[in-house]
Amino acid sequence: MSTANITDGAGGPPPLTYPAGLPDRVAPVGDALASGIRTLVAVLLGTGALLVIGLFTDAKQFYHSYLFGYVFALDIALGALFWTLIHHVADAGWSVGLRRVFENINRAIIPLTALFVPVLVGTFTGNLHAWYEFVHTVPQKGHGEHLWHVKHLYFNTPFFATRIVIYFAVWIGYSVVMRNWSTKQDAVGGVALTRKMQWWAPSGVALLGLTTTFFAFDVLMSLQYSWFSTIFGVYFWAGGIRGSLATVVLVVLGLRAAGFLRNTITMEHLHDVAKIMFGFTVFWTYIAFAQYFLIWYGNVPEETQFYLLRRNGAWNTMSILLPILYFVVPFFMLLPRAHKRSPVWLALISSWILVMHAYDLYWQVMPVLHQDTIHFHWLDAAAPVFMFSVVLLSAIWGFTRLPLIPIRDARLNETIGYENETP
Amino acid sequence: MAAAYGPPSHPPTEVQPHTEPVPAFIPTPGGTGKPWGAVAEFANGTDLLAAAKKALAAGYKHLDAWTPFYVHGMKEAIGRTRSRLPLFTLAGGLTGLTAAAALQFYLMTYYYPTIVGGKEYRAWEAFVPVFFEMTILFSGFFTLFSLIGLCGLPKFFHPLDSHPTFNRGTQAGFFLTIEALDASFSPDATRAFLESLGGKHVAVVEA
């Protein structure tokens, strides 16, 4: 009979009782990751200072780089929220141990909400989205540009601001509510809260799908406001879902390297995450090609403008390399079973996918600013590093204060004893 | 007592005795007179797993386990390594991709070059759906047919069908077999060995 009573340091939540017989210590990590946190804070402050310098030296470049870094991180946080919800929708047993990792990564949505303000400033000062400039230069009743006349019902300041508020309200709402129920279950146990989360998760998936799609339309696609692509939201989502899986793998590997969860989240679980990562590698390609293929075949000017812009100078090379580096390379890296079960390979593949995710988003955002060819700016490196540090810090913050797995989930036994089928 | 986290263990069960004693050598209709192998029935998956591990340790290689459901760890316990099936799938995928590429580029570029929708002859984008579909189709066919081949199907009769209790293998029976192909196989010694492992209804079946 060994049930340890460990009181949460914050004082607010009720004292937790840890179930006996767990194969690992799952209490909050406390100060065990302090050096890592200090490094991350230093990186955050350093790149943050660089961003401030960038704002005052080259505003237009700053806003574009910032947007690129911002969507890179937000994509990952939203992907983690999606995984939390889909875990409940699928009534999954194997991923119970991973759920706290998802929940801790989507914690980043709250700081990222505050960090969205510079993007809004960029839009409303005319530094980012072309439609904003257009709204204020073309007379409202004129037919100077017919396309804008049709689209101004969608692209105008009040409606844009309203939509942004709705998106963040949905994201924060679902991430906070799901996390609160999950942590409440750590104390009270039982299946009532699991049922409750399962009841709310499907609506969350639907709303998350819609808001993410329209967020992608509003913030990325509208950089070229005259461009049409109905699949763009899915493209954005496919990138984010891959990026978030890569982040999940890296966070889990980091925790395991620090000595946590070694027998709770085993290579069996990581193998499955890698299988999903492989699946979404193919999915991203499917979506990316579907978008390109239909636009190429249709050959309609307002659709082809996106790809025409990316056929100039070094952008063309980057466009050709994108499917090779972001599909072919990870596909063959993830194909052998042994790679999906090796921590070293998994770390390599996940880092590769994250870097290529940034590459993909850079390719989506930057040609709008530098239309002739690539002009790599140091801000383009500082912004994603800054934003990714925000995500990692938010996740680690959760691990220092909450149990590392949902300790009272009814299906904990299923996840801990989980084994893959041997082929 | 600490809660047990991990795969559940099977409850202890016993092999139900057969109505009449199972003979030591079971003839097969139209058999060759030579033994196919030895069979033993066990009470549950846990017992069968333990017996299989001991048989493997004793040097037997042509082992097989027959269970009504998947038993974790059984594949390793009977000495099975990875299946060759994924290699066939990969071969199928590459064959399909190559065939699709060869067919389309040859037809559309050299044999009967045609302009479709104002695109050039070598409009590879238009070929991609066919690349994809042919890859999937050939992977699927290669997987299916090599699976059937590797399993030795179709098979209308198996010597084990003569064993009087073997039909329980789909419901509640757990069987371990050691085939006569095995270098260490000898009808009497192997049967005695299976009995020493706790096997019931032990018999040698005619091939």
pLDDT tens digits, one per residue of B149-186: 998 899 888 889 888 888 888 888 899 999 999 888 88
List of chain A residues whose C-beta atoms are within 8 Å of the C-beta of residue B6: 413, 416-417
Residue B26 DSSP class: E
What is the token pair recorded at A332? 């063959």
Whether pLDDT at B103 is above 70: yes
Whether pLDDT at A154 is above 50: yes
* Residue A69 Cα to chain centre, angstroms: 11
Number of H helices and number of E strands within chain A? Answer: 18, 2
Identity of the residue in A289, A413, A423 whose CB atom sits nearest the CB atom of B5 = A413
Global pTM value? 0.86
Q: Does B69 contact A at CB distance below 8 Å?
A: no
For residue B40, the SS3 value is strand
Closest to A331 in 3D by CA, of A368, A312, A298, A356: A356
Question: Residue A144 has what pLDDT?
Answer: 60
Name, in order, each residue with C-beta under 8 angstroms of A25's C-beta and a sequence gap of 6 or more.
A260
Helices A192-215 and A59-89, packing angle to 10 deg: 150
Is the CA virtual torsion B80, B82, B87, B89 positive or negative? Answer: positive
Q: Does B85 contact A at CB distance below 8 Å?
A: yes
Residue range B43-92, pLDDT digits in tens: 888 889 999 999 999 889 999 999 998 888 888 889 888 888 999 999 99
- Residue A343 near residue A222, CB atoms below 8 Å: no
Distance from CA of A321 to the nearest CA of B (A): 16
Name, in order, each residue with C-beta under 8 angstroms of A10's C-beta and a sequence gap of 6 or more.
A401
Question: Residue B46 has what pLDDT?
Answer: 87
Q: Whole-angstrom Cα distance, residue A321 to residue A340?
A: 24
Residue range A287-297, pLDDT digits in tens: 999 999 999 99
Whether pLDDT at A336 is above 70: yes
Residue range A50-90, pLDDT digits in tens: 999 999 999 999 999 999 999 999 999 999 999 999 999 99
Q: In the block, which residue shows the tokens 């082929």?
A: A423
What is the percent of chain A where pLDDT is above 70?
Answer: 94
Is the backbone peptide bond immediately before B86 cis, with ω within 30 degrees of 0?
no
Name, in order, each residue with C-beta under 8 angstroms of B182's C-beta and a sequence gap of 6 or more.
B37, B60, B61, B62
- Residue A81 near residue A109, CB atoms below 8 Å: yes
List of chain A residues whose C-beta atoms are within 8 Å of the C-beta of residue B117: 297, 299
Whether pLDDT at A24 is above 50: yes
- Residue A67 near residue A388, CB atoms below 8 Å: no
**pLDDT band for position B24 (cuts 50, 70, 90):** confident
Q: Whole-angstrom Cα distance, residue A125 to residue B170?
A: 73
List of chain A residues whose C-beta atoms are within 8 Å of the C-beta of residue B2: 2, 20-21
Q: Whole-angstrom Cα distance, residue A190 to residue B115?
A: 66
